[in-house]
Amino acid sequence: MKTYISPAKVNIFLKITGARGSYHEIISRFMRIDTLYDTLTLKPKKSAQFLIEGSFTCKSSDNTIYKAYKELYQYTKSPQLKNLLQEFGIHVEKNIPAFAGLGGGSSNAATFLHICNDLADLKLSVDELSHIGAKVGADLPFFIYGHSSANVSGVGEIVEAFDEEALDIEITTPKIEISTPAVYQEYRRNFFKPIDSLTCKKMAKESSLNILENLSISEANDLFASALALYPELALHVKKNNFFSGSGSSFFTLKDSHG
């Protein structure tokens, strides 16, 4: 069977714009990283039971791919989809670190949704896939739309392509498993200071290169302070010209900006 690519992302900037119940509204520039990716392959299997293979740290029922399948089947009730996943298992070769702010699990689930849409001939639009994916995780819509760079807002469901050149980015991921919910909760408790709409609009228009050349790590990512408060060992990995992706633990820099 064909192998499908599931790329990583970094958040060039991530700013909190408000709260929606227990969720946080954001404005963020997502940039796809095509040099770091997992691969998904469908392989024939003997049992009809849903099967995910790969070096995962969670049980299959908690995997974003399985959750995406459940939402997709709930939406379509497609017998072709059910038959496809009874006949084939999903093998994932993991290269994107987990708990790292790089969107690996979301990317896997988004890629899986596209695979199912194609192979089960579901004929769903990208907007429909994004609607389904948003029920699984906030980062899925970005990966479903497939833009190389995009402004992501709301709670992740609003994705607007941003026209710019891809940057040559180098990623470093310390072996620190970060809980995204915990980082957001810490932000809400001790660092909550949403940006105003004028600043939000201004940042959405700035190129990623300008952002990285003019903002500090804390200015670019509102979650860095709360992540550092919960995981002080992150400070050992901060270097000049480093930026922080998502809720961490990954740092990234432009390849020509080491210092």
**Residues classed as catalytic:** 9, 139
| Contacts by residues 55-60 (CB-CB < 8 Å, ≥ 24 positions apart) | 55/94, 56/92, 56/94, 56/98, 57/98
Q: Edge-to-edge strands of the sheet including 169-172? A: 169-172, 251-254, 243-244
Supply the DSSP string of 50-96, one letter for each residue. Answer: --EESS-SS-GGGSHHHHHHHHHHHHH--HHHHHHHHHEEEEEE--S
Cα dihedral 143, 211, 247, 245 sign:
positive
Q: Give the largest Cα separation in the chain, rounded.
A: 57
Alpha helices in the chain (DSSP H): 64-76, 79-87, 104-119, 126-134, 140-145, 180-186, 197-205, 208-214, 217-220, 224-230
